[in-house]
Amino acid sequence: MWQTAEVKVITVTQDVFAGSNFDIACRKFIPAEGDSLERIWKRNGVTQYYPRALYAIANMRETSDAIARFVATRTGPSVQHYINVRHEKLLQSIYAMAYAMVFRPIRFTQNEDLQRLLQEIFQM
């Protein structure tokens, strides 16, 4: 149950490209029994606690669609970025081969099911 009708927008970003982001609309909620209201973990054997904000995603369908659009439009450029980073030659060559198989499939396969599978793997 929502505590207020006010919607707050959180902009989620990632660190590879400037301008690569999407928005999530959130609303303050009234906690129900069983809701997790704090994050709990152990550090050096001592239990740590951090309270969670009482906000939740306002519209799961819209948020799901926004994430799907983000992934669909950023997968190729993100992988290309890691291909261009020259620190790890093995990783670079693996990404380059996989990128070519997904985004330039004529060179490797005419199998559309395989191409779709590779695209889905990249998007994960």
Structural domain span for residue 25: 2-123
Of the candidates 40, 119, 7, which has an alpha carbon nearest to the alpha carbon of residue 73?
Answer: 119
pTM: predicted TM-score of the whole model, two decimal places: 0.63
The one-digit pLDDT tens for each residue of the chain (124 residues) are: 899 999 999 998 877 665 678 899 999 999 999 999 999 999 999 999 999 999 999 999 999 998 888 888 877 777 777 777 767 788 778 777 777 777 665 655 566 777 777 677 666 6
Give me the number of domains the chain comprises. Answer: 1
Of the candidates 46, 47, 26, which has an alpha carbon nearest to the alpha carbon of residue 38?
Answer: 47
